[in-house]
Structure 1
């Protein structure tokens, strides 16, 4: 198969699907409101992320404009919003410190090519196999790194050349603690308090922008002695640079290959995680390999304009959905609104105080930490999952992000094999979700014939662990008609881990949104114990547990007969 044929087969942006379905004025109105809402959130965030990464704020805006537009236009998700993200902060900072900014541009360009190749090779499907404790430990570790990177501006310290590594960074900051600026800390804490307060009292208010605007006004009005974008960077240009190919030579490309692989890996993982979150909120399905190709093109374009690495941003994507986005046009308009700010009002960015941006990123780090999920997994998950969580977290903070992922995957695989060693009755290759009509006995087939109208049954065979949990993702999409009651038989599932429970929870939420009552039958003791510890409990009218299939069938009849299930046509 030629490269052109492979691209045509595996690259089909959701934007083309939307236009093929018909794009209406009502869609444009909804997407315009969502795009403006996300742009308001992204404006201060893009500058803050760039400053935290060791770059100037203009590169953050440039990345959000160029890469943000292309990620939406060429990606595999209807509502994905892309741009610079917190996960890249330690990576970018280290690359700039080691290879200079031009080295970052080359590494980003190479990463874009790697992502395009990964999409063409359908690697996007393989990225779904990361276990949930590994992802949680990884993101929590990045959150700690982001917080540490903001200590300089939070405390107003006067220090140059802060190391990229966690412990050396803390040592240098401690050595310069005598330059502490109380005004900087007070301003940052005020911004944090304002953002948190607005989220509770007025959730629809753009807390990030309000905090930055008020902080900028306070600094200008009262002459507070803190650093601003203007004093440190000289402001933000009011135009975009022309694209240019960086100077390339083989030796430097080889030296930058590890950095490029790290950027590509992070961009791929975070974009697909964001797309999965978007699927969970909208009930739609993204195209993972198209998403990787779109991310690759966007990162290549960002590099040509001198921008930063970019990926799908979970918080901005969620904001986009809540604001009513319907199509990728919303993400494209978010980039257009940011461009309008750069062209018309870039001078205002000079007044933004850096402690305010640091306060903003403290909130980002807290949200990114998944502290609730971290504590929940640490308290309730099996010991192997706890080990993966803590090891990934520690290596991310103290060693290296790539090493953390590699070691975490190896430990997760060994932990799984240790679990499987005690299940001698389970043979290899039975991790299948299949229609109950292929059941083991005539009894199963007879039971299926007795199903009342509006009831569907599927069965899981084998352990539901991180390598097989994603098979539940598109289970509802396989149904020709949407049922009122969906029975999931789990009597042949001897083992469930945290990722398996996470997938069951996601399935339950999708059923709830579609007006389907989920009934899980025949759960064995270990899966039931893990599910309860991780919070998967019965919710009348939404999620029920039955001891066996006959009990599940009786429950389904009672639910449909008593009218507890809503008619799908009226949902």
Structure 2
């Protein structure tokens, strides 16, 4: 490896690691960062507990993930304000993994996914998220919200929730199935707890924006439940310290079975984290986002989480938005958020164990509802038919089948529609010869090619050119061609050869410099009868065509 290549590689590696520049603004932003970190820590506590339980693991797993992964991602990630931890989207993916392989497999999946994400960042594919269209993102979000809401229903209808294997892996079907075990008395208490939490979350901001409604609701439900003796299932005992780090089970057979789930988790973590970081950068002037470093940071966060028995982590847009709006402007805020949650574990683990699970379900239900913005849904549905279709299909597939499959289908559908629209922009128009008409001009066809000439439009453009009959000379005007790919250039070369074999002389005018190399490589220019048949200006091409027609008429 050359010295230059080695230097470039080392420079690239350094750009993916923390540096002093990450904290250059802390001297003037630390007050706002501390307040924002405290606020986000309070907001994140019920979400971490709820997502841990809802995933089929435990509240402890969710809390560990928020602490460990939140700290590592804050230090190593590519965004200055991103807050990471367990999220609703990840819960949706983890539930079927727990059902199929058991809760213990999640730690192994987390480690494997973390490694995949780090490799993806090192390979510099972080900018790939920019290829996901907005309607697909919104459809994906709507589908996740529906699933999160539905996942809470079984725990509300009975204290004896059936094992995951007894229910469908589909959240909607499982919610319906759970009503077969309805315990009306328990459901009354559980729905009452949900109502109190929902009222707190909706009403607290009306009093003051800084009041953490979810935490208030949980405290109220917990105290009332203890006072009146409500028969509600509770979180249970939590450890008062973090567990010692331990390498997950790497049995070859288990690892082989978890490759596909790990790839799914990695894809989701990468997509959600990059989208969250991109949205955060639009909320305030918080500095640039390095998408590749963000992937490396999120991958390391999941690896660290797995060592402590946690679950996969991603950037969390709701907590990140709270961070920015609370004044967070540097990584210190997300670090403080993790420290706040750690203090919770060390100081008040016992009271947290008394929180009813129904209260956490209420937090997640309200969170799911808030994920869907009616104005955004209306805007997508009123935009174009293609975008509305991509939105609906992505949402339906997310709810019915799989999140990653939904994104892939949505992107493919949007891509097909975009290609169709681009192909329609490819035009072939016949121009008149300006100026004084001359004998034989009717034997000359001037065809202006416009728009993109690529694989989706190549055959149609070639067919339109081939459809020109009863002429001796065809002048192809190329100056308004935009995108040209190898397929389009090849089709153009083929049609030139076809016309020449038919006895029609082809002249080409106005090849742009950016297209000339491709035209020579693919053979478009080589298909011309003579190298003098390539022109810079139209008058010269017309004059040459007229001379050719005159010679042809004279020889006849």
Band of TM-score, shorter chain: 0.7 to 0.9
Judged with a 3 Å threshold, the aligned counterparts in structure 2 of structure 1 residues 207 and 341 are, in CA distance, closer, same or farther, namely: same
Structure 2 unmatched runs, 5+: 427-449, 455-480, 484-556
CA–CA distance in 1 between the matches of 2:362 and 2:172?
Answer: 22
CA–CA distance in 2 between the matches of 1:211 and 1:187?
Answer: 9
The one of 217, 220, 223 equivalent to 1:214 is: 220
The answer to whether the aligner puts 1:192 opposite 2:219 as a matched pair is no
Q: Which residue in the other structure is 1:299 paired with?
A: 302
CA–CA distance in 2 between the matches of 1:276 and 1:158?
Answer: 42
Q: Which residue in the other structure is 1:495 paired with?
A: none
Q: Which residue in the other structure is 2:146 paired with?
A: 144
Q: Which residue in the other structure is 2:106 paired with?
A: 104
Q: Which residue in the other structure is 1:426 paired with?
A: 451
Q: Which residue in the other structure is 2:247 paired with?
A: 245
After TM superposition, the structure 1 = structure 2 runs for residues 54-133 of structure 1, keeping only pairs within 5 Å, are: 54-133=56-135
The one of 350, 359, 362 equivalent to 2:362 is: 359
Judged with a 3 Å threshold, the aligned counterparts in structure 2 of structure 1 residues 426 and 301 are, in CA distance, closer, same or farther, namely: same
Q: Which residue in the other structure is 1:174 paired with?
A: 179
CA–CA distance in 2 between the matches of 1:311 and 1:11?
Answer: 23
After TM superposition, the structure 1 = structure 2 runs for residues 467-546 of structure 1, keeping only pairs within 5 Å, are: none
Taking structure 1 as the reference length, the TM-score comes to 0.71
The one of 246, 270, 273 equivalent to 2:272 is: 270
CA–CA distance in 1 between the matches of 2:425 and 2:357?
Answer: 56
Q: Which residue in the other structure is 2:258 paired with?
A: 256
Write the deviation string for residues 513-560 of structure 1: whole angstroms up to 9, x where unpaired: xxxxxxxxxxxxxxxxxxxxxxxxxxxxxxxxxxxxxxxxxxxxxxxx
Query: How far is 1:183 from its partner?
Result: 1.2
CA–CA distance in 1 between the matches of 2:377 and 2:85?
Answer: 26
Identify which range, 3-12 or 83-92, moves more after superposition: 3-12
The answer to whether the aligner puts 1:324 opposite 2:327 as a matched pair is yes
Query: How far is 1:7 from its partner?
Result: 6.7
Query: How far is 1:361 from its partner?
Result: 0.3
CA–CA distance in 1 between the matches of 2:364 and 2:17?
Answer: 31
Taking structure 2 as the reference length, the TM-score comes to 0.73
Larger Rg, first or second structure (1 or 2): 2
RMSD: 2.2
Judged with a 3 Å threshold, the aligned counterparts in structure 2 of structure 1 residues 394 and 258 are, in CA distance, closer, same or farther, namely: same
Query: How far is 1:17 from its partner?
Result: 4.7
Query: How far is 1:111 from its partner?
Result: 0.6
Q: Is the 2:70–2:301 contact (alpha carbons within 8 Å) kept by the matching residues of 1?
A: yes
Q: Is the 2:157–2:181 contact (alpha carbons within 8 Å) kept by the matching residues of 1?
A: no
Write the deviation string for residues 67-102 of structure 1: whole angstroms up to 9, x where unpaired: 000110101111111000111111111111111122
Q: Which residue in the other structure is 1:522 paired with?
A: none
Q: Which residue in the other structure is 2:318 paired with?
A: 315
Q: Is the 1:59–1:307 contact (alpha carbons within 8 Å) kept by the matching residues of 2?
A: yes
Query: How far is 1:152 from its partner?
Result: 2.0
SS in 1 for 2:19: helix
CA–CA distance in 2 between the matches of 1:7 and 1:151?
Answer: 52
CA–CA distance in 2 between the matches of 1:3 and 1:247?
Answer: 36
The answer to whether the aligner puts 1:397 opposite 2:399 as a matched pair is yes
Write the deviation string for residues 476-514 of structure 1: whole angstroms up to 9, x where unpaired: xxxxxxxxxxxxxxxxxxxxxxxxxxxxxxxxxxxxxxx
CA–CA distance in 2 between the matches of 1:20 and 1:60?
Answer: 28
Query: How far is 1:158 from its partner?
Result: 2.9
SS in 2 for 1:427: strand
Q: Is the 2:79–2:290 contact (alpha carbons within 8 Å) kept by the matching residues of 1?
A: yes
The answer to whether the aligner puts 1:202 opposite 2:208 as a matched pair is yes
Query: How far is 1:225 from its partner?
Result: 1.7
Q: Is the 1:156–1:185 contact (alpha carbons within 8 Å) kept by the matching residues of 2?
A: no
CA–CA distance in 1 between the matches of 2:201 and 2:25?
Answer: 39
Write the deviation string for residues 435-494 of structure 1: whole angstroms up to 9, x where unpaired: xxxxxxxxxxxxxxxxxxxxxxxxxx989xxxxxxxxxxxxxxxxxxxxxxxxxxxxxxx
CA–CA distance in 1 between the matches of 2:310 and 2:138?
Answer: 28
Q: Which residue in the other structure is 1:529 paired with?
A: none
Identify which range, 400-409 or 273-282, moves more after superposition: 400-409
Aligned length: 426
Judged with a 3 Å threshold, the aligned counterparts in structure 2 of structure 1 residues 152 and 159 are, in CA distance, closer, same or farther, namely: same
Write the deviation string for residues 22-48 of structure 1: whole angstroms up to 9, x where unpaired: 642x43332211111111101111001
Q: Which residue in the other structure is 1:411 paired with?
A: 413
Write the deviation string for residues 170-207 of structure 1: whole angstroms up to 9, x where unpaired: 34212112455201101111210111111233222111
SS in 2 for 1:181: helix
CA–CA distance in 1 between the matches of 2:264 and 2:14?
Answer: 23
Structure 1 unmatched runs, 5+: 430-460, 464-571
Query: How far is 1:413 from its partner?
Result: 1.1
Query: How far is 1:14 from its partner?
Result: 8.3
Write the deviation string for residues 304-339 of structure 1: whole angstroms up to 9, x where unpaired: 111011011111111111111121011011101111
